[in-house]
Amino acid sequence: MQLLFELERLIRDDSAQTTAEYALVILGAAAVAAALITWASGGDAIKRFFNRVFDQLMNGLG
């Protein structure tokens, strides 16, 4: 019976989920940072992409 309670506790424990969520956020931030660094250093495809996004943001602001 104790084994069943322990299994149920482990199944319902979501502390590892939080760790995985933090890891995904960090990976996403690293990807954005890498794209910005590539853009700033003159990568052509990324530069065109960010320039287009920036232009649309500026046109939307007025």
Residue with tokens 């990568």: 43
pLDDT-above-70 percentage for the chain: 85
How far is it, in rounded angstroms, from Cα 30 to Cα 23?
10
Contact, 30 vs 19, CB < 8 A?
Answer: no
Q: Give the pLDDT confidence score for residue 31 in this predicted structure.
A: 92
Name the token pair of 44: 């052509």
By percentage, how much of the chain surpasses pLDDT 90?
16
Taking residue 44's Cβ as centre, other Cβ atoms within 10 Å add up to 9
CB proximity list for 19: less than 8 A, separation 6 or greater: none
Mean pLDDT of 1-13: 72
Side-chain-facing half-sphere of 43: CA atoms under 13 Å: 11
For the chain, domain boundaries: 17-61
Rounded to the nearest integer, the mean pLDDT of the chain is 81
